[in-house]
Every structure is written in structure tokens, then in C-alpha cells.
Amino acid sequence: MADSSTGTFRVACVQMEPHIGETAQNIERSSALIAEAADNGARIIVLPELVSSGYVFHERSEVEAAAENIPGGPAVSAWADVCRAKGVYVVAGLPEAADGAFYNSCVLVGPEGHVGTYRKMHLWNEENSFFAPGDSGFRVFDTPYGRVGMIICYDCWFPEAFRACALDGADIVCVPTNWVPIPGQAPSERAMANVLCQANAHSNGLYVLAADRVGVERGQEFVGQSLIVDHTGWPLAGPASEVDAEILYAEISAEAARAGRTWNPYNDPIRNRRPDAYESLVSAPSSTDDGRES
């Protein structure tokens, strides 16, 4: 599948509410929603972060009970079954068990089975108590619909993540996520997570498909507002509800994204980069409040 098709096709972001401790039911429910989106014509379908397990772990044993080896575990097997039956691709999050560690991972699964895995590189808050930092780097995979990258939730706060996908030729970045409220959000303002998706879609000339969860789990609120962003940075569908389950749909085209990156005879946001001036992005130590360079 070295060549990517370039026609217009439908994508979906499944906003839903997983329940912690109910892994089998979460897998069954997510599989049913994938089938629904597929029946409605979607060919790439994105589901939330940790959709098979829920998010708010209190004990390591809870992670262990929900985590699986990839591929071959129950969630990826179930999703692959639906992908095979419906001829679709799915990106969805799950806890991965590998080499004695757990990762907050997501998979790309298609009619041919498991295509690739991404292990979350930037961990949020208490995830650090249960998951190892990702070691997959940012990988982009060929599908018949275009080149697909994957990042998860807090990764959106790092434009480097989107850029690394773009530099590897991504037409689409799928974002399984569990966005939590951000202090200072004014009701009149679009959610900052959405703003980040828009900015990075625009700056890289690629689609962003963000599927969030909803609900309150063990006191932790999630904000919904799943979003499908055009390669120009403008929303194609959503933001979805802040509280209700919902499936977003939009029509996209990898060819349109590729053509759209040529803004005029001089300008393309990828080709115009100045790597000669970006050295600090890979060499600088992290800045600290008490140890800044002067």
C-alpha cells in the first residue's frame, strides 16, 4: 500500500463514555459504534483515548486487568473484526502491556488487521503513576485513504508532535483523547484543546480528527467537544457536545490537503521551515524557572 488514494471519503469521530472496570462492555460498545459509523459511510473512524478501559485508575492492578498485548488482545481483536467486516480503518486508545510495563497507547487497525501502534510520548498528570513514557516516537502509516499519524491528548500541547507527523508525510492526524477542563476557560471562548487542533492543522496543512470522551469518572470531569478540523484549520464538524455521546462525520481528501499546502509560488508551511534555526528544539535543556539562561 505504498500509494495512497486521493479521493474524497468520509471520516468519523466517536465521542462516547467508557466506564472504568468494565473492559468487556467498553470493547463491545466501542465495536458497535465503529460498526454504526461504518454503516453511515465512514472509512476512518477515531475513538477516544483508553476507550477500552476508562481513564481514572486508582491501583496498578486495575491497569493490569485492562491492559493487553498488541496485537492479539481482546480490544484490538474485536476492533479488527469490525474493520474486516466493514472494510474500515479505526484509531482507538487502550492500555498496552509490553515488556513488564504499561503504555497509554493507541492503534491503527484496518481490514488487514493491526497496522501500527503509538505509545503516548507526553504523559499527563497521574498517568505518570501507571504508564511508562512512550518510546514509539511519532509514526505515520499508509492507508488507501492517505497517510495517517496518531497522537494522544496532551501530545496536542506539543506542536512538535504534529510537526513530526507532518514531516513524515501525514495527511491526517488522529487524536484519541480524554480532555479535562482547563482553568481560565471563558464560556464564550472555544476550548483551548480545540484551538490547538486548529492551529496545528493549519500550520501543517493536514486534517485533525480528535475523538474525546464524555462523562464524569471517579470525580474527574471530561469536556467532550470532539472536533474534525479541515487541513485549512477550520472546523469541518463539531465541536461536539460537552456532555453527550455523539458521532461526528465529515468528508475529507488527502489530495486536497496536499494541494492546499501550496499557498502561493513562494509559500508552503512545510517547505518554508528553517531547520537551521531550530537546533534548540532538540538540544536545549528544558527551561526552568530557577535556571534560565541569561
Nearest 5°: CA angle at 150, between 173 and 205?
A: 20
Rounded CA gap, 92 and 51, in Å? Answer: 7
Give catalytic status of residue 165 as yes or no. no
Using CB under 8 A, which residues numbered 123 to 162 contact a second copy? 123-126, 128, 133, 137-138, 142, 147, 154, 157-160
Give the shortest CB-57-to-a second copy separation in angstroms. Answer: 15
Closest by CA to 208, choosing from 228, 182, 232, is 228
Using CB under 8 A, which residues numbered 28 to 57 contact a second copy? none
Q: Which is nearer to a second copy, 40 or 278 (CB)?
A: 278
259 binds a second copy (CB under 8 A): yes
Catalytic option among 13, 83, 106, 153: 153
CA distances from 231 to 91, 218, 291 (A): 19, 36, 39
In degrees and rounded to multiples of 5, residue 256 shows phi and psi of -65, -40
Q: Which is nearer to a second copy, 29 or 122 (CB)?
A: 122
Rounded CA gap, 43 and 169, in Å? Answer: 20
Give catalytic status of residue 153 as yes or no. yes
For a second copy, what does the binding mask look like between residues 166 and 205, x meaning CB under 8 A? Answer: xxxx------------xxxxx--xx-x--xx-xxx-xx--
Give the three-state DSSP class for 16. strand
Instruction: Give one DSSP letter per residue of 87-154, joined into a string.
Output: T-EEEEEEEEEETTEEEEEEEEEETTEEEEEEE-SS--TTHHHH-PPP-S---EEEETTEEEEE--GG
Give the shortest CB-263-to-a second copy separation in angstroms. Answer: 8
Rounded CA gap, 80 and 31, in Å? Answer: 9
Give the shortest CB-274-to-a second copy separation in angstroms. Answer: 5
121 binds a second copy (CB under 8 A): yes
Using CB under 8 A, which residues numbered 200 to 219 contact a second copy? 200, 202-203
Using CB under 8 A, which residues numbered 221 to 250 contact a second copy? 230, 232-235
163 binds a second copy (CB under 8 A): yes
Give catalytic status of residue 221 as yes or no. no
What residues act catalytically? Answer: 49, 120, 153
